[in-house]
Amino acid sequence: MVADITGLQCALRMASKVDGFNYDKFFTKYAQINANLAIYSSELTNLLQDEHPRDYLRTNVPVQQFEEFYETYDVREGDNMY
């Protein structure tokens, strides 16, 4: 998870230097990269053998660390992604 957050931090630093950067497109593509469909048996195997967090956590938790995400989607206190 630390690597996911650090990678996002680096990408967002570079993005801040681009005029008119499309943060919505950036965060959407980031979520699509981590999207995954799995059957129960493969998820169970992953839970037991893979030390990485589940894909939905690798998507949702890192973006919640950055103000750009909150500003892009107008996330406020009390919202599910706050």
Q: Which pLDDT band, with edges at 50, 70 and 90, does 11 fall under?
A: very high
Distances (CA, A) of 58 to 8, 20, 32, 34: 11, 27, 12, 7
Mean pLDDT of the chain: 93
The residue extents of the domains of the chain are 2-72
Full-model pTM: 0.83
Contacts of 17 by beta carbon, 8 Å cutoff, 6+ apart: none
